[in-house]
Structure 1
C-alpha cells in the first residue's frame, strides 16, 4: 500500500514553515498549509492548498484533515518570543500548549498518528557548563516560552505511550538564513534575532547594533551560539517525516532530536562576517550582559545523524549571512 504523503503543515506560512513546505514539495510530499496568519505571511504560502483557521477551531481542523486526506502533521504554530513570554505567560500557554491539545484531539479523530513537532533548544535552559547539549540532558527551561515547548514534548510522550502516536520533536538551535533563491526568509515583527538585526544595521535601517556582554569566558568575550541555516532545518523536517512514515509498528513512540551543527560562532564573529559579506561599515555598541544569557549554547547533533541520516550542509556562517542579505535586498537594484 503506498504511503500517504499528504501533510498538514500547521504554521506553514511562517519563517521555518514556509521553507519546509518548499522542501516537502521537492521531496514528493503534498503539503497543505493551515495557518491563522497572525505572524505568517500570505506571500510565503507555497502550496495550492491553504486552510485559514485557528488550532482551537476543532471542527475546522478536523474537516481540513478529512477533506485533504491527511496522513501526517508538521506542527510549527507557536509564539516564540521568550521576553514576551515572561510578560504574558498565559498567552503562551494558551497558544502553544492548549492549541496543541486541540491539534492532537483532531488528529485522533481523523486517525492521523504521525507528527513532527517544532521544539527548541530553549528546553535545555542554561546548561552551558555541560559542553555540547545532547538529548540526554535534563529538560529545565528558564522562561515560559521554553516551558511551553517542554510541556508539549511531555504531552507528546504521554500521548504516544497511551496510543499509537508516533512523534519526533525537533529541538532547533539558532534558525537563520533564507532560501537561496530568495523566495522566503526571516520577517519577524518585532525582530529579536541577532543576524537579521545586524543586517538591518548594515542596511541603514537601524542606527547601531548592541553587543550584550564582552566579558564572557569565550575567546573574544562574546556569547557563542549554534547557527543553523533554515534550509537545513527544513531538510531535517523532511527527514523526520520520512522516518516516521517508514515505520509500520502499531506502538506509539516519542523521540526528541537536536537540529544544530555542533559548531558555535560568537557575536563578534557574526558581526565581522556581516561586515565582510555586505561590504558595509556600521556602528557597534557594547553593553552589559543580559540576565540569563549563557556564554555558549552549541548542539550535539549526533542523534540526528544516527536516527535521521541528517547533517547540516548549508550552515557555514558566511552562507547563512549571504542568503539572509540577498533575501533582505530581493528586488532591489
Structure 2
C-alpha cells in the first residue's frame, strides 16, 4: 500500500487535479491520498491558505469579512465549474466558514486553526466527489474519522501515540481514500493544525500508521537537487539520501520536505520518494533509512538560508 501526498501547486486548479487523479488511479497500490489546499496558479496568485489568513484577520479586527470569504469561495467555484461538478459543495463551503466564524470569533487561536484547516478540507471533499463521479470508488475521510488525534496546542499539533491504532484501520477500506492534510483533532474536540507545511506531516503519520510500503510526496519539482536551482545553474538531482541527511539539509534551508515529517517515517523505516506531479515518469529522489556511501562523492547537498547561523 502506498500513501501519496500532493502539495498545493499540484492541486491548485482543475487541470492539476485531473493530473493528480490520473496518477492516483493509474496504480491500485495508491490507496490513500493526502491533499493540500489549492496553491498558487501563477506567480502573482495568492495561496488559498493566505486567503484564509486574511479572512481571519478581518474577523478578529471586527471588519467586514464578506469580500474575503467570497474570494475563498471563488477559488473553489473556479475548480468546480471547470470540472463540471454539482455546485452544491459551494454552499457547504459558505456555511462551514460562517459556522466557524460565529462559533469561534471570541477564541482567536481556535478560529485561526479552524479557518486554516478549511483549505485542505474543502479540497479533499471536492476531489473525492469528482473522482467518484468518474466511476472510481472514492471516499473522503476527515482527520477525525482517520483517527488523527493530536495534542491540543493551536498551530503546534503533535500526533498522540494512541492515534496510530486508529489510523491503522484505514487499511480496511476498499475505496480510494482522500484525506485533508495539515490538521488533526484534539480529544477536546477542537481542530488543531500542524506547523505550516503540515500536509507533509499528515502524510508521514498516515504512512506510519498503515505501514505503507512507500510514502510518495508529489510536488512541482522532480526531486531534491544538490543545490538551490534558483541560485545554482543546473544542479544535479539527488537520487538517494538518508533521513538524517535530509533532516540536516531541511534545518538549513531545504524546503521541499517538512523536516518534522521524517520522524514517524524514520521509526518504521518507511522510504519516501519526492516526485513531480507534472512529470510523474521521472524517478525522483528517494529518502531512505541508510544507504551505501560513494567515497568519491561524499557531499549530499548544499543548502542555505537567510539569517541562519
Normalised by the length of structure 2, the TM-score is 0.35
Normalised by the length of structure 1, the TM-score is 0.33
